[in-house]
Copies of this chain bind each other. A is one copy, B any other.
Amino acid sequence: MQNFVFSAPTQIFFGRGTEEGVGEAAKKQLGEKVLLHYGQSSIIKSGLKDRVCRSLRDAGVEVVELGGVLPNPRLQLVREGIELCRSQGVQGVLAIGGGSVIDSAKAMAMGVGYQGDVWDFFVGKAMAQRALPLGVVLTIPASGSEAGGGTVLTNEDGHLKRLAWSEHVIPRFAIMNPELTFTLPAYQTACGGADIIAHVLERYFTNVREVDLTDRLCEAVLRSVIVHLPVVLEEPENYGARAEIMWAGTVAHNGFLDVGRLGDWACHSIEHELSGLYDVPHGAGLAVLLPAWMRYVLEHDRERFQQFAKRVWQLDKAEEGIQALAGFFRRLNLPGRLSELGIDDARFLELARKCTGNGTLKVGNFVPLDTEDIVAILEMAK
């Protein structure tokens, strides 16, 4: 086990009706004037935005609005949001939505107090020294962004999708009512599930030895997601199953499952280039890439893949575990091949080169991949 530092400071309010308390939480933790950040019309249609605004008003919190976040959130809107926060003297940011909205809100919160361009944080030119406090009302279980310090943004100029991290943007609170996910379309639910599974697997495949407890905690989350994802697709209003998935999404990515180990993260890196170039849903990209990556790196540590097969799928052989995962994604109507996402091999080399910084760095920790490896994985997935 490696040395580690861990805390999970985000205050989670989980369960039915918890969004009614958003005003109180915002007043206490964000300030008296907040930017309400959201995506498209779904939270307006569902009435959620009205309920949140009412709660904020009742608590005496003034609201400035900025909607319009798209999946794979864009730099341009973040820049607009930063200007808006500055001109309006906003004290905190409240994100209502899923990972895209939360990540967009985090980038804004980091950018407001920074003199330079916010993109600097995403290309390693600067580290955030401060940020506006952030709160979340979560509507899509997937990214885990509601309880972590990471934010992924797409720069339209060059289709670059990049990650920044800062402890200052770990949300102060996250409101998580599984009922708010009842209306999530099946495909989006499945994509979210694939993202959750990927967050666990990126940590599970490690070269660090003596991480037994965390291995088992990873397997517990995987088992529970595998049991409940088909249930929520079958019964979208099954509260219990929606609750399991929603909580799994947070546990998978709040740092709890990677204590003492070094995760891999190659699939996430490759997928970021994929959705940067082709604007496909992150979870769909991962569903295609994960099994291909697993087959490609299998021989590096067959024993670990055997453990995965055995403990997660009750299967004996390493290959059977990978096959079971691919079959599971397939049964959720997720794509199994890049071609199903409308992606052919025309830009594989370009994509792989973007990933490795034109061959200057390797991608992933379990098996560090070079440009050729990535092309080979994309070929297997095409």
> In the complex the two chains form, what is the Cα distance from A247 to B1 in whole Å?
11
Minimum CB–CB distance for A247 against chain B, Å: 6
**Closest residue of B by beta carbon distance from A16:** B3
Residue among B7, B15, B212 making CB contact with A3, cutoff 8 Å: B15
> In the complex the two chains form, what is the Cα distance from A16 to B217 in whole Å?
23
> Across the interface, which residues of B come within 8 angstroms of A244, CB to CB?
1, 210, 212-213
Cβ A243 vs Cβ B15 within 8 A: no
> In the complex the two chains form, what is the Cα distance from A223 to B2 in whole Å?
21
Q: A1-B240, A6-B11, A7-B8 are in contact. List 12 more A-B contacts (CB 8 A).
A: A1-B239, A1-B243, A1-B244, A3-B15, A4-B15, A6-B12, A7-B11, A8-B9, A212-B228, A213-B247, A213-B248, A217-B251
Count this chain's copies in the assembly.
Answer: 2
Minimum CB–CB distance for A130 against chain B, Å: 17
> Across the interface, which residues of B come within 8 angstroms of A7, CB to CB?
8-12
Cβ A220 vs Cβ B228 within 8 A: no
> Across the interface, which residues of B come within 8 angstroms of A12, CB to CB?
4-7
> In the complex the two chains form, what is the Cα distance from A100 to B275 in whole Å?
53
Q: Which residues of chain A (1-46) have a CB below 8 Å from chain B?
A: 1-18
> Across the interface, which residues of B come within 8 angstroms of A223, CB to CB?
216
Q: Is A256 an interface residue (CB 8 A)?
A: yes
Cβ A243 vs Cβ B260 within 8 A: yes
Cβ A210 vs Cβ B3 within 8 A: no
Minimum CB–CB distance for A13 against chain B, Å: 6
> Across the interface, which residues of B come within 8 angstroms of A70, CB to CB?
none
Per-residue CB contact flags for chain A residues 140-167 toward chain B (1 = under 8 Å, else 0) read 0000000000000000000000000000
Per-residue CB contact flags for chain A residues 215-235 toward chain B (1 = under 8 Å, else 0) read 011011101100110000000
What are 17 sample pairs from A and B whose C-beta atoms fall under 8 A apart? A1-B239, A1-B240, A3-B17, A5-B11, A5-B12, A5-B13, A5-B14, A6-B14, A7-B8, A7-B10, A8-B8, A212-B228, A213-B248, A216-B223, A217-B220, A217-B251, A247-B260
Of the listed residues A2, A6, A243, A259, the one surrounded by the most CB atoms of chain B closer than 10 A to its CB is A6
> Across the interface, which residues of B come within 8 angstroms of A210, CB to CB?
239-241, 243-244
Q: Is A209 an interface residue (CB 8 A)?
A: yes
Query: Which 3 A/B pairs are nearest by Cβ-Cβ distance?
Result: A3-B15, A210-B240, A216-B220
> In the complex the two chains form, what is the Cα distance from A244 to B1 in whole Å?
8
> In the complex the two chains form, what is the Cα distance from A220 to B8 in whole Å?
20
> Across the interface, which residues of B come within 8 angstroms of A3, CB to CB?
13-18
Cβ B224 vs Cβ A220 within 8 A: no
Cβ B247 vs Cβ A227 within 8 A: no
**Closest residue of B by beta carbon distance from A11:** B7
Cβ A216 vs Cβ B212 within 8 A: no
**Closest residue of B by beta carbon distance from A1:** B243
> Across the interface, which residues of B come within 8 angstroms of A2, CB to CB?
15
> In the complex the two chains form, what is the Cα distance from A221 to B227 in whole Å?
20
> In the complex the two chains form, what is the Cα distance from A256 to B250 in whole Å?
12
Cβ A14 vs Cβ B243 within 8 A: no
> Across the interface, which residues of B come within 8 angstroms of A216, CB to CB?
220-221, 223-224
> In the complex the two chains form, what is the Cα distance from A239 to B348 in whole Å?
45
Cβ B9 vs Cβ A4 within 8 A: no
**Closest residue of B by beta carbon distance from A256:** B256
Minimum CB–CB distance for A320 against chain B, Å: 20
> Across the interface, which residues of B come within 8 angstroms of A1, CB to CB?
15, 239-240, 243-244, 247
> In the complex the two chains form, what is the Cα distance from A164 to B12 in whole Å?
23
